[in-house]
Structures are given as structure tokens and as C-alpha cells.
Structure 1
Amino acid sequence: MYLTWLDNNSWLIEISGQRILVDPWLVGELSFGLDWLFKASLKQERLISEQIDLILLSQGLPDHAHLPTLKQLDHTIPVVASPNATKVVQDLGYTCVTCLGHGETFTFNNQLEIRALPGSPIGPTLIENSYLLKELATDFTLYYEPHGYHSPQLKQFAPVDVLITPTVDLTLPLVGAIIRGTNSALEVAKWLQPQFILPTAAKADATYEGLMVNFLKAVGTAEDLRTSFQKNNLTTQVLEPKPGDRLELNLQNRVLTR
């Protein structure tokens, strides 16, 4: 298994011989329509020339279903998406879109099972997707949730080999954590006993503007999480990739323990 962090929530996952592009923001600016409140731009655009076998979208918000990026990608690439993100890619004219609701699964090329589970709440009524990916030949599993909201349903799939989820909190005054990492990452690691955990929803090669940026505060560090894992007798390795680095994860086979 190879993982490449492309900054923020964007990942390239290579699993079971498939190249999966997750929540890509690769070109252009990121805006939610109120630039005075928040706007972001990449220091380095990351056009991917290699073949992409699948696009996986967890949410329909612009930082997950990023319109400028999706407009540039080949519209014949298959897409698996939450119901909210499905509307985005269908409106753009993507030709092979699979919508997954919570609890539904999709088998891709007879090699990879993708299971949608409850993820991040968006507003009072909408809950977006998290995903559990399973390599059918080896039973290796990877779990992705970009905001740190983990459904207790996950416990039935333990152990899970790799987690991609926030590992620090991102907070706003009076609101609290809008990205949940510190306690949330420890809790889900206790449930799933992963071999590796990698942070997402972090920023590296991007610049941020707007009123909100002045009040956002990151709480916690990777070292804090390692200490928490040690105190709780977790052997999970906390990795800290840099944008563009392609990491090879050498996983130990735990099929017999599942």
C-alpha cells in the first residue's frame, strides 16, 4: 500500500493495484462563496498526469468536492461519492458515478471493497460519509474520515490497519473544535488498533486569507498523540508525511485476528 498526501484533505491511495484520488483539491482557489470570511490558495498546483482509476469523495462541500479540480479531471474516471457529492459530479457531467449511502458497499474491479459509514455532520440534518476500504486479496483495510467524527459502527470492523483522520483539533472561539483530532484520534485508535495513523485536514503548501483565519487555532501535536498512544499501550505508528511524499506502508498480516 502506498499513500501520497497532496495537502489538506487530498490523498492518492494506491491499494490493490488501484490508484484512488480522495477529496482532491489540486488546482485553483478554495472558496465557500464568502471570500472575506475564508479563502485559500495552493502554493503549488498538483496536476496529476498518471492514470487515476477512481475518484472517492466523502462530502459535497468545496474542500472535498472541489469544482475547479473536478472540472479539469477526466470526466470518464469512475467516481464513488456521498449523496451530496454525487450531485456535484453529476452536474459536471461525470459519466460513471456510484452513490453510496451509509452502510452500502461497492466492489471496484473485483479487487477492492469500499464501504460508506457515517462521517462528518454538515448542518443540523446532513451527515456525510467516511469510508472503509478493504483489499480483497489480503484483507488489509484503510479507514478515512476527514473531520474526526467516527461512528461507533466502526468497532465491528476492528482491527483496521491504516487510519487517515485528523490528529489535532482546529478550534474557533465560542464554537469549539470544527476539526476533531486529539481525543477523537485516540478514541478511534482504541477501537480499531491500527498499525498506522496519518493526519489529514492539515495545511502545508497553501495560504489562507479572510476573517476566520485570525481566529482558527490548532490544538495538539503529533508528539502529543504518540504520548497518548504509549500511555494507552497502543503500538500504532503516527506518521507525518509531507505533501507529495509517496509513503510505502509495510503492513503485517492480521487476517486471522479479524
Structure 2
Amino acid sequence: MYLTWLDSNSWLIEIAGKRILLDPWLVGALMFGKADWFFKSERRTQRQIPANIDLILLSQGLPDHAHLPTLQQLDRQIPVVASPSAAKLVQQLGYAEVTALQHGELFNMPNLLTILAVTGSPTGPTTVENGYIIRDLTSDRSIYYEPHGYHDKNLKDFAPIDVVITPTIDLKLPLIGTVIKGQQGAVQVAKCLQPQVIIPTAAGGDITFSGLLLKFLQAEGSVATLRSLFAANNINTKVLEPKPWERFEVPLPQLLNLS
């Protein structure tokens, strides 16, 4: 299993011989609507879009997960698996093969891998987006991804999971509260899924931020404090710190998922 962190929430996952592009933001600026005065993120270094993508996987329909300029650049013939809100967006862009997964539904590449949609982050009064469990059927390895730290209460039914990709810092807004649940969410999911490795997402990367929102966002915690929390809770999970755009093999010496 190889991973490449492409900044922010974006990942290239190489598993079961397939290349999965997860929540890609790869071109242009990241904004919500056209309100660059409110929030804008830009790359310090221009990057090439990864080649030979077998599947696009989208957890949410918001721009930091389903980034419209990036999706407009990608090949419309690449199959897409997405939350219902993200699926609606890529269908409007003319993607040829789109699978919308409700919570509890499974996408299957026969004899290679499965992708299970689980309850993810609330993004509106009636919208709850997706987390995913990706399982490699050729090696029995598994990955769980949820980008805001909102973890399904029934995750324990799928333990153990080898790798967890989730936030490891908290982001808070006055009057609203925690919008990304990193530290305690990571402790919760580590206890629940017993992963060998946890890897931070939604942590910036080789990018810059600007806009009014930054005056109100409060970031708390770090990888070091998370490791201390793990030690205090007798959690043996390793916390990795990937570097942006550097491909690495996930160290998984022990096969957990043997039946």
C-alpha cells in the first residue's frame, strides 16, 4: 500500500494494484463560492495532476473535497464513487460512470477491492456526508478515511482497520464550536478501530491561506500532543507525518485482518 498526500484533504491511494484519487484539489485556488475575501487557499508550488488514475473517490460535495476546477480538468471517463451530494456535481460535469453511495452501501471491484460508505461529517441541516472503508481483497489490508473527525458510532463493527486517515488537530469557530474534531476524534477512532497507523489529513501542506475566516479559526493540538494522548490511553497506534507530494509505502509489518 502506497500513499501520497496531495495537500489539504487530497490523497493518491495505491492499493490492490489500483490508483485512487481521493478528494482532489489539484489546480487553481480553493474557495467557497467566489468569496476569496472570506477564505482562499493557494499552492506555493504548481503540481502536475497524477496520471493513470483508476478511480476518483469523493467524500463530500463541498469545494474542499469536490473541487470544481480540478474535476473539470480530470478525464470524464474515470469512474467516480461519491457521496450523493458530490455525485450530483460530477454528473452535472458529464462524468460517464458515477456511483453514489448512501451510508452502508458498498462499491465493489471484483477480486480487488471494496469501498464501504459510512456515516461522515454533517455539512448542513439535513446532509451528512461519507466516510469510507477501503479494503484490499488481494492482501486483506484496509484503510478508513473521514476528513472532519466525525466518526460513525458503529465503526467498531469493522475493526480492526490497518490505516486511519483523519484529522489530528481541532479547528474551532467562536459561537459555532468545533468544526474539525482532531485530537479526541483520533483517540476515539484509534480505540475503536485499533489501527496500526494513523495519518493526519486536513492539515494544510505546501499551501497558503488568506481571508477573513482566518481571524476567527482557532487551531488546537499537534502530532506531539496526540502522541501524548495515545500514550495516556495505552494506544499503540503509530502517528505518521507525511510530507506533501512524497509517495511512501505504509509500514504495516503485522497483518491484522486474518480471519
| TM category, shorter | over 0.9
Residue 35 (structure 1) shift: 2.1
Give TM-score scaled by structure 1 length: 0.97
Matched residue, 2:31: 31
Matched residue, 1:205: 206
Matched, 1:8 2:8: yes
The alignment yields a C-alpha RMSD, in angstroms, of: 1.1
Aligned equivalents of 2:10, 2:47: Cα separation in 1: 10
What does the per-residue CA deviation read over 1:84-124, in whole Å, with 9 as the maximum and x for residues that have no partner?
00011111111011111100001125301000001000111
| Correspondence list, 1:94-243, <5 A | 94-243=95-244
Residue type of the alignment partner of 1:215: F
1:74 is paired with a residue whose SS is coil
Aligned-residue sequence identity (percent) comes to: 61
**Native 8 Å contact 2:111 2:138 kept in 1:** no
Aligned equivalents of 1:48, 1:63: Cα separation in 2: 16
Aligned equivalents of 1:216, 1:80: Cα separation in 2: 31
What does the per-residue CA deviation read over 1:197-232, in whole Å, with 9 as the maximum and x for residues that have no partner?
000011121111111111212100101111111121
2:256 equivalent among 235, 254, 257: 254
Residue 242 (structure 1) shift: 1.1
Unaligned runs of 5+ in 1: none
Residue type of the alignment partner of 2:80: V
Residue 253 (structure 1) shift: 0.9
| Correspondence list, 1:60-99, <5 A | 60-99=61-100
**Native 8 Å contact 2:160 2:257 kept in 1:** no
* Higher alpha-carbon deviation: 13-22 or 48-57: 48-57
Residue type of the alignment partner of 1:253: L
Structure 1 segments, 4+ long, off by >4 Å, are none
What does the per-residue CA deviation read over 1:131-169, in whole Å, with 9 as the maximum and x for residues that have no partner?
000011222110000000001121100011000000010
Aligned equivalents of 2:213, 2:49: Cα separation in 1: 31
1:146 is paired with a residue whose SS is coil
Aligned equivalents of 2:168, 2:174: Cα separation in 1: 20
Matched residue, 2:47: 46
Aligned equivalents of 1:41, 1:47: Cα separation in 2: 15
Residue 48 (structure 1) shift: 2.2
1:185 is paired with a residue whose SS is helix
Residue 50 (structure 1) shift: 2.1
Residue type of the alignment partner of 1:100: L
- Report how many aligned residue pairs link the two structures: 257
Matched residue, 2:17: 17
Aligned equivalents of 2:96, 2:48: Cα separation in 1: 21
Residue type of the alignment partner of 1:2: Y
